[in-house]
Amino acid sequence: MPWADEPPPGKRFHQLARTARNRWWRPLVGTLFLGAGALLAMIVLIVPMMIVWAATGHDMDDSGSKDSIFGSTNADLGFNLAGLALMTPVALFAAWWIQRRRPGTLLSVAGRIRWRWLLACCGLSLAFLVVSFGLSVGVGALGGDGGGGDDGHWVGWERFLVPAVLALVLVPFQATAEEVVFRGWLIQAVGAYTLEGRRPAIARALSRVLRTPWPGIVVAGLAFTAGHDYTGWGPVDIFMFGAVLGFLAVRTGGLESGMAVHTFNNLMSFLFPAALGTLDLDQGSVGWQPVVVDVSALVLYALAVLWLARRMGIANRTPSADPQDSPSAAAEDTPPAAAQDTPPAAAQSAPPAVAQDSPPAAVEDSPPGAQAPQGLPAHGAGDVQVPPGWPAPQAPQ
């Protein structure tokens, strides 16, 4: 038996952890392992960075910010993005080692990233940025705070280049890691639990709820919100972002749409402030106006993703069982020679020459009450003299 189970046939994205080896403890232990592994990865990353930082003559945390580790926005940015990116291999390993399933099932129902679909979602994500920026300008023109009203100015290429390179290189991995953990692992971990077959009425009611993706989407959205430090209306914005991307993951059968828009959204969040000299990793208070802008643009993006997924025929379930496994297909796979082991002459009764070896008189000498002789030749009734009252032998069909 292979170590990792294949994804169950005909299942949706949130049900991919319901393999033959699924047990109640596997998602729970895997989630604990994921948290511990992510913490260990951060420690492994920070130790050499601190050594190099101190060896180059830099002071640790001389910026006065309680959230700064290295006292440098660029160093903190690189550490945060790289540390979050390390969650991807930890989650993939947990799926393979603890849940005993293909790691690629965390990504899509195809067991891998569907690159053509991801590229299409990148195009829609660029449109999302344009719509979001336009809505921000519109809200600002109406007297509200659209989220883009800072007083920064262009800082020049010398100051912009380092954070820009860090963001362009690391943000795709950081955004992918968050999608794998929150929209992949957590949604599927909750979806692995089912009360199907239980008799109590409350168990049957819970079973109907657990068959849907919504418990996993809500749990993943709350966990995603808890991983951010925004205040005010910020948690609402983060939860809606996570819930919409979780919904899209289930409806499109994979993380590609979330990976694309999450990457472009974060790139805009880092590159614009870096260009204006206002890059700050502290997550503060958010007003309701930016939430309206973000959620409106995200809903339009979701509608566009669903429309394009239908046009492109994107699968949202695992492939059905292979028809080659059916008995009829197995019979068709039998080679003609094996299916006809008996030669044509043997498949019929004895050849005519054998029939002529027995004279008709031998047949006529049999008394009327005797049984018919075995091995009558396979010919028409007119070729054999049959005693009165005996049934005529039938010709082969």
Q: What percent of the chain has pLDDT over 70?
A: 75
Q: Which residue's structure tokens are 């919409």?
A: 244
Q: Which of 47-56, 99-108, 289-298 shows the lowest mean pLDDT across its residues?
A: 47-56
pLDDT at position 263: 98
Cα 366 to Cα 255: distance, rounded to the nearest angstrom: 84
Structure tokens at 206: 């819970």
pLDDT above 70: residue 289: yes
User: Phi then psi for 155, rounded to 5 degrees?
Assistant: -90, -10
3-state class (DSSP) for residue 232: strand
pLDDT of residue 342: 42
Q: How far apart are CA 270 and CA 262, in angstroms?
A: 12
Mean pLDDT of 261-267: 97
More confident residue, 95 or 369: 95
Q: What is the DSSP string of 55-107?
A: HTTPPTT-S--TT-SSS-HHHHHHHHHHHHHTHHHHHHHHHHHTS-B-GGGGT
For residues 178 and 153, which has the higher predicted lDDT (pLDDT)? 178
Once rounded to an integer, what is the mean pLDDT over residues 92-118?
97
d(CA 238, CA 263): 15
Digit-coded pLDDT (tens) for 159-190 = 999 999 999 999 999 999 999 999 999 999 99
pLDDT digits (tens, 9 = 90+) for 197-241: 666 778 777 888 888 999 999 999 999 999 999 999 999 999 999
Model confidence at 119, pLDDT cuts 50, 70, 90, reads very high
Contact 91, 99 (CB under 8 A): no
Cα separation, 208 vs 195, in Å, equals: 8
Per-residue model confidence (pLDDT) at position 260 = 98
> If we measure between CA atoms, which residue out of 349, 346, 351, 395 comes closest to residue 374?
349
Give me the sign of the Cα torsion angle 207, 209, 213, 215.
negative
Place of tokens 């409806």: 251
Report residue 384 as tokens. 């054999």
Which pair of structure tokens corresponds to residue 74?
A: 């660029």
Q: Residues 6 or more apart from 16 whose CB is under 8 A from it?
A: 7, 8, 101, 105, 106, 109, 188, 191, 318
Specify the pLDDT at position 371. 46
Mean pLDDT over the full length of the chain: 82
How much is the pLDDT for 147? 56
Reported in sequence order, the residue ranges of 259-332 that DSSP labels E, i.e. its strands, are 285-286
At 388 the pLDDT is: 53
What pLDDT sits at residue 213?
96
Look up residue 176 and give its two tokens: 């992918």
Which residues are CB-contacts of 50 (< 8 A; sequence separation ≥ 6)?
60, 70
Residue 302 has pLDDT above 70, yes or no: yes
Local confidence band at 151 (pLDDT 50, 70, 90 cut-offs): low
Largest CA-CA distance found in the chain, in angstroms, rounded: 122
Of the candidate ranges 206-215, 312-321, 334-343, the one whose mean pLDDT is the lowest: 334-343
**pLDDT band for position 65 (cuts 50, 70, 90):** low
Q: For 285, phi and psi rounded to 5 degrees?
A: -80, 145
Closest by alpha carbon to 9, among 322, 255, 254, 313?
Answer: 322
pLDDT value at residue 329: 36
Confidence of residue 51 (pLDDT cuts 50, 70, 90): confident
Report the C-alpha gap between 290 and 231 in whole angstroms: 13
* Rg, C-alpha atoms of the chain: 35
Q: Look at residue 149 and tell me whether its pLDDT is greater than 80.
A: no
Distance CA(277)–CA(159), nearest Å, equals 8
Residue range 29-41: mean pLDDT, rounded: 95
Is the model's pLDDT at 374 over the cut of 80? no
How far is it, in rounded angstroms, from Cα 281 to Cα 233?
Answer: 18
Q: What is the pLDDT of residue 331?
A: 37
Mean pLDDT, range 318-323, rounded to an integer:
74
Of residues 174, 59, 123, the one with CA closest to residue 301: 123
Residue 369 pLDDT > 70, yes or no? Answer: no
The DSSP output letter for 373 is: P
- What is the percentage of the chain residues whose pLDDT exceeds 90? 58
For residue 203, give both structure tokens: 């168990």
Give the three-state DSSP class for 397: coil
Helix axes 234-252, 288-312, angle to 10 degrees: 10
